[in-house]
Amino acid sequence: MIFVDTSFFFAAVEPGDRSHAEAMALSRKISGERLITTNLVMGETWTLMRYRSGFQTAVRFLDSLEMSDSIEIEQIHSKLETESFGWLRVHDEREYSFVDATSFAFMREHRITEALAFDGDFTAAGFVELRA
């Protein structure tokens, strides 16, 4: 199972993103793999796409995710939220977001070690950011 982050979703959709070509190559490489993300990543990606790529791009993203058979969307529960706030309180080495922290907690809970991400945060937190 591979976790999918906002940085990957955005790079895959936005041709002008510096990681777009890598995202496309990775998409081909991981075809058939079980992918998973969270409702918070989905919301964060909506916001990023809405502001940088426009309303229609953001809507198409939501529609494609909701119709996809290859990606599972899980809800972040309150225990993971609490764990994430605790984790953020002791990690000042990078400017992690709350969504990052919930993603890491989710990955630890589900024993996921690999992520589709391009911002370096997952690597810094001890996970593997896949490359093509």
Q: Which domain holds residue 41?
A: 2-75+111-129
Q: Which CATH number fits the domain that encloses residue 64? A: 3.40.50.1010
Whether 33 is covered by a domain: the verdict is: yes
The whole-number pLDDT of residue 102 equals 98
Distance separating alpha carbons of residues 60 and 132, to the nearest angstrom: 25
**Mean pLDDT across the chain, nearest whole number?**
96
Number of domains in the chain: 1
pLDDT of the residue at 55: 98
Contact 8, 116 (CB under 8 A): yes
Q: In the chain, what percentage of residues exceed pLDDT 90?
A: 99
Residues in the chain: 132
User: Beta-carbon neighbour count of residue 108 at 10 Å?
Assistant: 16
Q: What are the tens digits of pLDDT across the range 76-108?
A: 999 999 999 999 999 999 999 999 999 999 999
The C-alpha atoms of residue 65 and residue 61 are separated, in whole angstroms, by 6
In-domain check, residue 20: yes
Question: In this predicted structure, what is the pLDDT of residue 43?
Answer: 97
Outline where the chain has alpha helix (H).
Answer: 6-13, 20-29, 39-52, 55-67, 78-89, 98-109, 121-124
